[in-house]
Structure 1
Amino acid sequence: MGKKCRDTIAVSGGFDPVHVGHVRMIIDASKHGDVIVILNSDTWLRNKKGYVFMPWNERAEILESIKGVVKVIPVDDGDRTVCDALNSLKESVDLTYFANGGDRINTNTPEISICNKLGIELLWNIGGKKIQSSSSLVNDHKGMKHSTEGNRS
């Protein structure tokens, strides 16, 4: 087996839509190793938010274009976690880290126990504090659309 050149770090989320906070988190994560994005499914988004703003393949293509990302993978997120993906990545690429953005803490991250069991180090506040929300962007857009519908020239 060849020598591992760089550590690998996983980030996960719905990224719907992708925004500057996501980009900053991924760039910060890339300082720790090659980034693998675990991208939640459209079904997961519908169950969590009630809608899908951008389909999975479009979100994946955007995320793959961010510097430091080596791969975007789908996840079986039926249990609303990415535990299965972390387990698979530990086996396939010897995953080193699991990064969590500024809105995650050790009381709202269900993947803590699998990371501890597998020896995956958890990193917190990657990318800094939460600066934007995908849901807020979508809701703000909906509000702007409704407020300008009658103002067409």
Structure 2
Amino acid sequence: MKRKELRKIIIFLLIPIIVVSCSTHKEAIKVSEDEQAYFDMEEGEAVEIKDEESEYEIIILEPGFNAWLLSVAQPEGYYSQNFLENRNDILVINWNQRVMQPQLFDPNLYIFQIDYDPNIDYGYEVNYKLYNYFIYFQRKYNQRLGPFFPRI
């Protein structure tokens, strides 16, 4: 066997081992009964996220999110804008990757891509509500969009 051919075989055999070893045990997200009540809501008002200065807007039509945001999520000002922007960048990338792979991820959960550019200042409110929507979504549907656990 030629050296070049051997390298291809070794690489090919190592890939499945690496993939298996990188898959980690994903801890289920535990929610309280109070929080679950928001997840079970079938109706709710839309949440409009916009920043007057930047003219960017997001509308979230998820029953229970607005009530959850007002009662369960950390209050505005708890996180810095820099923290929110960094997390949103990671979460949006993972979200959009899932939208593009409907054969691997539920297309009923990941419907639309999110157009989020980390080089644009969307303002605090847009970043705060977007980040909290990701937390809400991950907790409600037991999903993990990033390397960090979605906690409140």
- Whether the TM-score (by the shorter chain) exceeds 0.5 is no
- The TM-score normalised by the length of structure 2 is 0.26
1 or 2 for the larger relative contact order (CA 8 Å, sep ≥6)?
A: 1
Structure with the larger strand share = 1
Query: Over alpha carbons, which structure has the higher Rg?
Result: 2
- The TM-score normalised by the length of structure 1 is 0.26
